[in-house]
Amino acid sequence: MCGEHVGLVDHMMWTEVPSETDPFRPATEWGRGPCTRADMYYEDFEGEPSYTVVTQYCSWTTVEQPLLFDVAAGEPINVRVWCFSQTTEEVAEATLLVAAGEEPLWQRSVPLPAVTGELLFDTLPAPHALPSGTPVRWHLQNHGENSWNLIELSVTRRTPCASSSST
């Protein structure tokens, strides 16, 4: 058997969670408040669709959309995020998470400042079945100028391998 990555989201469908109802709203906003639609957009990132958040004028956001496909308990969920170098001098941590509703599925802290860009890639088992339509949320909190690209949120499905027969 082989594995095929099946995208769980459409990067053109992300919508902002209003800050007043955001379950991940940070206690500290570093004086810059939530990101707006002007700070977030669909982007082709090196030939791959992605959702970009630029934190030049803001410090956090949560966006959401319905899960496109059912995910079975234990299926491998893949998360890939690219972050560019951090330009602020203040030492802190950026927080990133992917959640099903209010339940975090994946979370990472990134030490700041970051001198170089970095690809964050993790695969984790689904903690339980997630039906299509479940709200999936991407949250990030950052205190300096940076750009974050959510490249992949997918599940690895077992599929028959293509046979390589010669004639």
For residue range 15-39, what is the model confidence (pLDDT) as tens digits? 999 989 999 998 866 667 899 999 9
Query: Confidence band (pLDDT; 50, 70, 90) for 42?
Result: very high
Q: 7-10: which pairs have CB atoms within 8 A and are 24 or more residues apart? A: 7/68, 7/152, 7/153, 7/154, 8/67, 8/68, 8/69, 8/71, 8/77, 8/136, 8/153, 8/154, 8/155, 9/65, 9/67, 9/68, 9/136, 9/153, 10/65, 10/68
Q: Give me the chain's average pLDDT, please.
A: 89
Name the fold adopted by 2-159. Jelly Rolls (2.60.120)
Query: Given this model, what pLDDT does residue 89 score?
Result: 64
Query: Given this model, what pLDDT does residue 30 score?
Result: 63
The full set of domain ranges for the chain reads: 2-159
Query: What is the pTM for the complete model shown?
Result: 0.88
